[in-house]
Amino acid sequence: MAIFSVYIINKAGGLIYQFDHNNTRPELEKTFAYPLNLMLKIYDDKVVVAFGECDGIKVGHCVLGINGITAEGRYLQDGREILEVLSSAENYPINIKFGRQKLSTNEKIMLASMFHSLFTIGSQLSPEPRSSGIELLETDVFKLHCHQTMTGIKFIVIADPRQTGVDVFIKRLYEIYADFALKNPFYSLDMPIRCDLFDTNLQQTIEQTERQGINTV
Amino acid sequence: MSRQGTRGVDPRKVNGELFTLTYGALVAQLLRDYEDDDEVNKQLEKMGYNIGVRLIEDFLARNNSSRCNDFRETADIISKVGFKMYLGITPVVSNWSPAGDEFSLLIENNPLADFVELPPGHNNLNFSNLLCGVLKGALEMVQMDVDVRFVQDQLKGDNITELRLKFLRRLEDAIPVGED
């Protein structure tokens, strides 16, 4: 349970593969009475909690649904605007579902090319000559491992900080890429990878890696 | 129980004859299609190139070889690791040019040409020209522009098969960041 996601970036910085692994993002549902004790705002076309944390609902969570109707951006599926629904007292009591928004495909592409540039900057800012780019980026809740091959492809693995054996996993990932993406005659180089065999083999390897080791230290 | 004998054998390894025969069929078909030796050579090289640009990743994924800083190193890895791994032979590296930018691979028994007798009138055909493309494509992916060609061929009555590799330049703008 500790490899979160895998990204593959081509020479030019384009995202050619992305995989999220059992990333169950917590969703919280709560019934509210009028007036709402949370401050909501529109951010990036989503309704986001701006202030006021309660019962696990945190600043930055966004509204995923109301009374069982899924949200689409700042509108509900039935076309009503979320903020309007929440501002009229006759709709209360009301049940709202909160959660972290998943990254959209466009956002992932953007982040991938951003990392591509960061990698370059990292290498150029280096006080030592002949430095590689960013190989490991560490935060409280995840570690980002990046491996660049000699041909310029980047394999990025986001894993739990305690996960061991990520280097071996990346090596296996490279082999899987060489086997199941490149040996497929219908796959063209530098294009997004859409191969079922690649997916299944990657998934197996991820599960294997996770079984083998999470450091409990 | 009866399958025990096959255990421990790398499932990726196949009988070389299967490969040799498939390649032979490919060349024969190309000759039928194009009826011109030079055009066949060109097609073979093109196919080889497309194989090479993919094969290099397979090669790098399974070997811990680091970047070559010297053409001699490259020659060594091609003959001792690359050819060994994919064709099961180790060509001899020789005939270095004084500048160290050109060498020959001497192939004694070319597995691609195991069962081949060239029909008369095909003096321009380089039967194994696919190899030229493979080497060129693979080296190009690790940012080396190399010219590869056949100078001798046992199929044409020479004593040995000789592949000549000439280093042209490093593809500087294609070198990934942090790789020097």
Same domain? For A90 and A110 the reply is no
Most A CBs within 10 Å: which of B65, B144, B171, B179, as the mutation test of the A interface? B179
- Among candidates B57, B67, B174 on the partner chain, residue whose Cβ is nearest the Cβ of A178: B57
Which one of A60, A75, A99 terminates a domain? A99
Determine whether the interchain pair A152/B174 forms a contact, defined as Cβ–Cβ distance below 8 Å. yes
Same domain, A94 and A127: no
Tell me if B57 and A151 make a contact (CB, 8 A cut-off). yes
pLDDT of residue A21: 85
- End of a domain among A46, A68, A99? A99
pLDDT of A114: 96
Shared-domain flag, residues A144 and A43: no
- Range of A63's domain? 27-99
What CATH number corresponds to the domain at position A158? 3.30.450.70
Say whether residue B35 is in contact with chain A using an 8 A CB cutoff.
no
**Statement to judge: residues A9 and A34 lie in one domain:** no
Q: What structural domains does chain B harbor?
A: 16-116+127-170 (3.30.1380.20)
Question: A24 pLDDT exceeds 90?
Answer: no
Do A76 and A114 belong together in one domain? no
- d(C-alpha A168, C-alpha A172), whole Å: 6
Q: Are A48 and A58 in contact (CB under 8 A)?
A: no
Structure-model confidence comparison of residues B24 and A54, the more confident one: B24
Report the gap between the CA of B63 and the closest CA in chain A (Å).
10
| Range with the poorest average pLDDT among A25-39, A98-112, B21-35 | A25-39
The beta-strand segments (E) located in chain A are 3-9, 15-20, 27-32, 39-43, 46-51, 62-66, 69-72, 75-76, 94-99, 136-138, 143-148, 154-159
Smallest CA–CA distance from A123 into chain B, residue: B178
Chain A nearest C-alpha distance from B87 (Å): 17
One domain, residues A34 and A54: yes
Smallest Cβ–Cβ distance between A150 and the set B53, B60, B62 belongs to B60
B67 in contact with chain A, both atoms CB, cutoff 8 A: yes
Of A130, A148, A175, Cβ closest to residue B176: A148
Q: Where are the alpha helices (DSSP H) in chain B?
A: 16-34, 37-62, 71-77, 84-87, 130-141
The per-residue pLDDT for A91 is: 86
The region of weakest confidence among A86-95, A167-176, B8-17 is B8-17
Domain containing residue A34: CATH number: 2.30.42.40
pLDDT of residue A217 exceeding 60: no
> Cα torsion for A117, A118, A124, A129, to the nearest 10°?
-120
Q: What is the pLDDT along chain B (180 residues), one digit of tens a residue?
A: 444 444 566 777 778 889 999 999 999 999 999 989 999 999 999 999 999 999 999 999 999 888 888 999 999 999 999 999 999 999 999 999 999 999 999 998 888 988 888 888 888 999 999 999 999 999 999 999 999 999 999 998 889 999 999 999 998 877 887 765
Residues of B in contact with A189 (CB under 8 A): 53-54
Indicate if A123 and A205 belong to the same structural domain: yes
For A177, the closest of B53, B57, B180 (CB atoms) is B57
**Residue of B55, B66, B141, B177 to mutate, interface with A, max A Cβ within 10 Å:** B177
Is B62's Cβ below 8 Å from some Cβ in A?
yes
Q: Greater confidence, A15 or A52?
A: A15
The tokens describing B51, both together, are: 């194989």
- The domain boundary residue, chosen from A66, A99, A132: A99
Q: Is B174 on the interface with A (CB under 8 A)?
A: yes
Task: Tell me the mean pLDDT in the region A13-40.
Answer: 84
Q: Are residues A78 and A163 in the same domain?
A: no
Residues A33, A86: one domain?
yes
Say how many domains are in chain A. Answer: 2
When mean pLDDT is compared across A67-71, A107-111, B165-169, the lowest value belongs to A67-71
Nearest CA in chain A to B140: A151
Instruction: Tell me if A55 sits within 8 A of A30, measured CB to CB.
Output: yes
* DSSP-assigned beta bridge partners for residue A148: A154
Inter-chain CB proximity A153 and B60 less than 8 Å? no
Contact B179 A175 (CB under 8 A): no
B152 to chain A, closest Cα gap in Å: 31
The pair of structure tokens assigned to A72 is 């689409």
A177 and B61 within 8 Å at the Cβ level: the answer is yes
Contacts 24+ apart (CB under 8 A), B143-152: B143/B170, B143/B171, B143/B172, B143/B174, B143/B175, B144/B68, B144/B74, B144/B170, B144/B171, B145/B169, B145/B170, B145/B171, B150/B126, B151/B104
Report, as an integer, the average pLDDT of A125-144: 92
Q: How far apart are CA B94 and CA B73, in angstroms?
A: 13
**Which ipTM was obtained for this model?**
0.85
Query: Do A195 and A133 fall within a single domain?
Result: yes
Which of B12, B55, B57, B141 should one mutate to test binding to chain A, selecting the residue with the greatest count of A CBs within 10 A? B57
Please tell me whether residues A160 and A175 are part of one structural domain: yes
B137 → chain A, closest CA residue? A151
Residues A130 and A197 in one domain: yes
- Given CB atoms, is B172 within the 8 Å cutoff of chain A? no
Per the CB < 8 Å rule, is A148 touching B178? yes
List CB contacts (< 8 A) between A118 and chain B: none
